Amino acid sequence: MDDAALPSAQLTMSPALRRGLHWFGGALALVGIAFVGLRLDAYWRDLAFSAITPGGWCVMALLAFVYGAANILLALAWWHLLRHLEAVASRTGAIRIYGLSQLAKYVPGNIFHLAGRQALGMAAGIAPVPLAKSIGWELGSIAIAGALSGPLVLPLILPGFPVAAGVALALLAAALLAVPVGRLGGPQARLALLWQTLFLLVSAAVFVSLLGAVAGGAGLKTGYWLPVGSAYVFAWLVGLVTPGAPAGVGVREMLLLFLLHGLVSEEQLLLAVLLGRMVTVVGDVLFFAAATVFFPTQTASGSEHV
């Protein structure tokens, strides 16, 4: 099941070209690391450290680990899309490629992680055409998953709009989309959509937990957990589709400040937004490290390749 072969979509290339693609993909990963360092430095200087207790730092570390681990869900979704497109790729190889290329999303332009993934995938023997197609499928699929959060944000925009009504609208939209998605993409695309939805749910839970920890005694009312988590997913989606915004930096934060204004104090909200970005960046770095250390480099057929 993991490494089923589909020879029609396997790529054969010369060792020199394979090494060149590995170097190109690795170079983009290194550039991504540099930009991540710059981002972390900026967030570090902007944070009000006096407001963060030792327990708060422990919570942040745990949430960064959870977010980093959740990135595997995105990698699995991409692997299922490759299988749908009849590309030959092992599960572990796909996770490694995805993890190594992800940091490049912080490079201005918001496309270099995709270029890195294409290069590393081809170096691993994945055919270029289905590899390129998988990018479009991935963006479309996760856009659908993220858009389902839209109705759940309505209670934040329309005072008095019931949360239950937002849930009902989201479930109705999911039911209406299930049939066409299944017919168009088949079982592999449905699995990809499932993994992406789970990733967004984990991401939302991470932000809600972070905001709750920052709010402290004032707390975040339980009834707002779902709308707040949905606002985070919605802002994540807007940042994803915004051209030129590296990893959605700036766009997501601005939208979150607009949607969540008034739920907690402005100072707490600003701190939670900054900490949220730091947690996700550290989580991405942890996923990169895990992909490097724990997932071997493999060719499309599943054999190890260094």
pLDDT of residue 51: 63
Q: Residue 71: which of 299, 295, 298 has the closest Cα?
A: 295
- Please, what is the end-to-end C-alpha distance for the chain in angstroms? 24
Q: Residue 100: which of 296, 305, 303 has the closest Cα?
A: 296
d(CA 95, CA 69): 11
Neighbours of 248 (CB within 10 A): 21
User: What phi, psi does 3 have (nearest 5°)?
Assistant: -115, 40
Residue whose entry in the numeric block shows the structure tokens 């332009």: 109
pLDDT of residue 78: 94
Q: Residue 120: which of 103, 138, 106 has the closest Cα?
A: 103
d(CA 64, CA 201): 15
Spatial contact of 119 and 19, defined as CB atoms under 8 Å apart: no
Tell me the per-residue pLDDT of 161-203, one tens digit each, with 9 for 90 and over.
899 999 999 999 888 887 787 788 788 998 999 999 999 999 9
d(CA 56, CA 49): 10
Tell me the whole-structure pTM to 2 decimals.
Answer: 0.79
Average pLDDT of the chain, as a whole number = 78
Tell me the per-residue pLDDT of 4-21, one tens digit each, with 9 for 90 and over.
333 444 455 556 655 555
* DSSP 8-class letter at 5: -
d(CA 202, CA 44): 24
d(CA 18, CA 28): 16
Cα–Cα distances (Å) from 13 to 20, 125, 157, in that order, read: 11, 7, 54
53 against 23, higher pLDDT: 53
Question: For the residues 65-87, what does the mean pLDDT come to?
Answer: 94
Inform me whether the pLDDT recorded for 218 exceeds 90. no
Question: For the residues 258-274, what does the mean pLDDT come to?
Answer: 78
